[in-house]
Amino acid sequence: MPNVIFTSPEIASVGILEDQCKREGMDFSVSKVSFSSNGKALTMNESEGFIKLIKDNVTQKIVGGSIIGPDASSLISSLTLAIANELTEQQITQTVFAHPTTGEVIHEAAFGLSIGALHQA
């Protein structure tokens, strides 16, 4: 169930959080990408914040995500779909994201779980 806090910047999360993964002894990876590397956020003058994706290394599926920054309340829906449909980071990286959009931070964070984020500042 996604949750959103309508502050400035917005805060949203869905799925399992990093602390919970640690408590449960999961084998997991985390990718964190700053909005300061996102062209749309820069043009909006809202480069504060980040996205964090969590991947279960056993199943390779995305199990959690947090977003602090512009459009977080809208972007969390994409992460909710990814988790509900048990997508892997590879499936996300193979998805075409419109450019320039804040949604590209999801693409970057997915790359961060494998080859590394391409545009991380």
**pLDDT 10s digits, 75-112:** 999 999 999 999 999 999 999 999 999 999 999 999 99
Residue 77 forms part of a structural domain: yes
Are the beta carbons of 107 and 95 closer than 8 angstroms?
yes
Residue 118 forms part of a structural domain: no
Residue 117 forms part of a structural domain: no
Q: In which region does residue 80 sit, left (phi positive, over 0), alpha (psi from -120 to 50) or beta (all else)?
A: alpha
- Residue of 68, 65, 73, 57 lying closest to 107 (CA atoms): 65
Quick check: helix, strand or coil at residue 50?
strand
Q: In the 8-state DSSP scheme, what is residue 100?
A: S
Residue 84 forms part of a structural domain: yes
Rounded Cα distance between 117 and 115, Å, is 7
Active site residues: 99
**pLDDT 10s digits, 11-65:** 999 999 999 999 999 999 999 999 999 889 999 999 999 999 999 999 999 999 9
Residue 80 forms part of a structural domain: yes
- Residue of 108, 106, 96, 36 lying closest to 76 (CA atoms): 106
The model's pTM: 0.90
How many structural domains are present in the chain?
A: 1
Domain around 82: 3-112
The CATH number of whichever domain residue 105 belongs to comes to 3.30.390.30
CB atoms < 10 A from the CB of 21, how many? 20
